[in-house]
Amino acid sequence: MAAFFLLLSLVPVVLVLGIFALTRRSKGCRNLPPGSLGWPIVGETLEFLSGKPEKFVFDRMNKYSPEVFKTKILGEETAVICGPSGHKFLFSNEQKLFTAFRPHSMQKIFRPHRAGAQISRAAEAQISRAAEAKILKSPGFLKPEALVRYLGKMDSITQQHLQTHWEGKDTVNAFPLTKTLTLTLACRFFLGADDPQRIARLVTRFDDITLGMHSIPLNFPGTIFHKANKAAVAIRRELRKIIQEKKAAMATGPPMQDILSHMIVATDPSGKYKPEAEIADNIMGLLVAGYSTVATTMTFFMKYVGERPDIYDKILAEQLEVSASKKSGEVLDWDEIQKMKYSWNVIYEVMRLTPPLQGTFREALTDFTYAGYNIPKGWKIYWTVSTTNKKPEFFGEAERFEPSRYDDANAFPPFTFVPFGGGPRMCPGKEYARLAILTFVHNVVKRFKWELVLPHEQIIGDMMPAPQKGLPIRLQPH
């Protein structure tokens, strides 16, 4: 009992020392942005995750500064740079002032074999970025000319998915079905695999990972991070099986045109082939990127268009015009995708009102000054599209779903709408996402009209939004 009271008496001392250390550290660099670093150790992480990142940012922009404020989230002292000037500053200084940064939860989930290595986080980010750039850019997998070859397969997979899971149903839950579709497309594109049973096993695992990517990395049963780690282990095990199957097929068959096949035969700068564990980590990251955000955009397309029959009618008219010159059984081609201008404006408006990813992180490579404040080297920079998307000074009737606002490319100032980022770090999968989403739009509106079963369904999630009940919709076949 005496020991218990001794420990209890030490708690205030520890807190005071923590606050003193935090204050001393922050005073080491003068003229920091306004804001609060929150509690010792945890900072403001709980408010960031539990109160939704968008609200967290807006509240502090109003309280401290609309340009930049400081905080401490996910274990890191962070400057949140806001508004169109902030977007421009970040995009213009990639690799000069900033490098990519993954929160500790993502580092541990995606690269556990490096977790104990003696390597700086900046070096880790640069290695990761260089590896991904080499994978995606050297053979041009995500360039339009390469994606054109995949478009027909994407169309046929989407048609088959709708026939299997949607047709003949009075109601469906759109969110889980779009996740199944996007993972099927990603597995076919990245892995060259399309086993439905294998994909079904992976869907829930990927859901667990997306929830755990921005979480407090406490690895014990019952935590979101623990569940994400278990999912990553299971996915990594499945991917290694696929890698071994792919190697065997490549040894006896013709060359294969998918990203996994390229990764297997690609070498590192020393001329060695990459270990299977590293290939599995890289491909898992690519699959996550090609899965959750695309599925979220498709789902909220169904939500917003289900609320607006007038917009549905315009999309249908455009898609029927695209189909008018096609023969029965012909799949979509590149020129037809380019004709879907109104449909893509609708998707833009979906992403403006409900960004599929709230934000990303960078790390400061050097001390720098922004908006009159000093940002120290090593601090993290949080970037989010939400600081401009709903501002009435940029978007008239900002809360209204209005695709026609994109008819004029100069209708709003530069750097106010940047759903795919910008500069050297612009999303490399933009064209892939555009093809996958528009192929889905083309096929779903030609088959069905729909209405929302739960018009006021709650939207949950922190970094990635999700309808609480999976967005049930009532289908009306044409």
Question: Which tokens in the block code for residue 195?
Answer: 């086993």
pLDDT at 469 over 90: yes
d(CA 259, CA 272): 18
Per-residue model confidence (pLDDT) at position 269:
66
Residue with the bigger pLDDT between 119 and 39: it is 39
**Architecture of the domain defined by 122-477:** Orthogonal Bundle (1.10)
pLDDT at 145 over 80: no
pLDDT at 142 over 80: no
Q: 138-152, 241-255, 315-329, 374-388: lowest mean pLDDT where?
A: 138-152
pLDDT at 115 over 50: no
Per-residue model confidence (pLDDT) at position 116:
44
Which residues does 68 contact at the CB level (< 8 Å), separation at least 6? 33, 79, 80, 81, 82, 86, 370, 371, 373
Tell me the pLDDT tens digit for each residue of 164-188: 999 999 999 999 999 999 999 999 9
Contact 451, 474 (CB under 8 A): yes
Mean pLDDT in residue range 196-206: 85
C-alpha separations of 442 from 154, 157, 434 in Å: 12, 13, 12
| pLDDT confidence bin for 66, thresholds 50/70/90 | very high
Number of residues that this document lists for the chain: 478
Q: 73-82, 264-273, 357-366, 419-428: lowest mean pLDDT where?
A: 264-273
Per-residue model confidence (pLDDT) at position 2:
40
Mean pLDDT in residue range 119-137: 49
pLDDT at 121 over 80: no
Per-residue model confidence (pLDDT) at position 140:
66
**Domain segments of the chain: what residues?**
122-477
d(CA 235, CA 207): 11
SS3 173: strand
Which residues does 113 contact at the CB level (< 8 Å), separation at least 6? 277, 278, 281
d(CA 166, CA 186): 20
Mean pLDDT in residue range 233-253: 89
Mean pLDDT in residue range 34-47: 93
Q: 233-237, 400-404, 425-429: lowest mean pLDDT where?
A: 425-429
User: Taking all residues of the chain, what is their mean pLDDT, rounded to a whole number?
Assistant: 85
d(CA 384, CA 446): 35
Residue with the bigger pLDDT between 10 and 257: it is 257
Sign of CA dihedral 310, 316, 322, 324: negative
List, as own/partner pairs, every contact residues 407-410 make where C-beta atoms lie below 8 angstroms and the sequence separation is at least 24, other chains included.
Answer: 407/345
pLDDT at 282 over 90: no
| pLDDT confidence bin for 346, thresholds 50/70/90 | very high
Per-residue model confidence (pLDDT) at position 399:
93
| pLDDT confidence bin for 15, thresholds 50/70/90 | very low
| pLDDT confidence bin for 82, thresholds 50/70/90 | very high
Per-residue model confidence (pLDDT) at position 192:
86
Mean pLDDT in residue range 109-136: 53
Tell me the pLDDT tens digit for each residue of 408-453: 877 888 999 998 888 777 777 889 999 999 999 999 999 999 999 9
Mean pLDDT in residue range 217-227: 91
pTM over 0.85: yes
pLDDT at 462 over 90: no
pLDDT at 324 over 80: yes
Residues 164, 170, 175: CA angle, nearest 5 degrees: 65
pLDDT at 267 over 90: no
Per-residue model confidence (pLDDT) at position 25:
46
- The residue among 367, 387, 369 whose CA lies nearest residue 377 is 367
The percent of residues in the chain predicted with pLDDT above 70, rounded, is 87
pLDDT at 230 over 70: yes
Per-residue model confidence (pLDDT) at position 58:
93
Per-residue model confidence (pLDDT) at position 158:
97
pLDDT at 78 over 80: yes
Q: 226-240, 315-329, 415-429: lowest mean pLDDT where?
A: 415-429
pLDDT at 256 over 80: no
Which residues does 328 contact at the CB level (< 8 Å), separation at least 6? none
Per-residue model confidence (pLDDT) at position 11:
41
Per-residue model confidence (pLDDT) at position 9:
42
Mean pLDDT in residue range 102-128: 63
Per-residue model confidence (pLDDT) at position 113:
52
Count of Cβ atoms closer than 10 Å to residue 430 Cβ: 13
pLDDT at 7 over 50: no
Per-residue model confidence (pLDDT) at position 144:
78
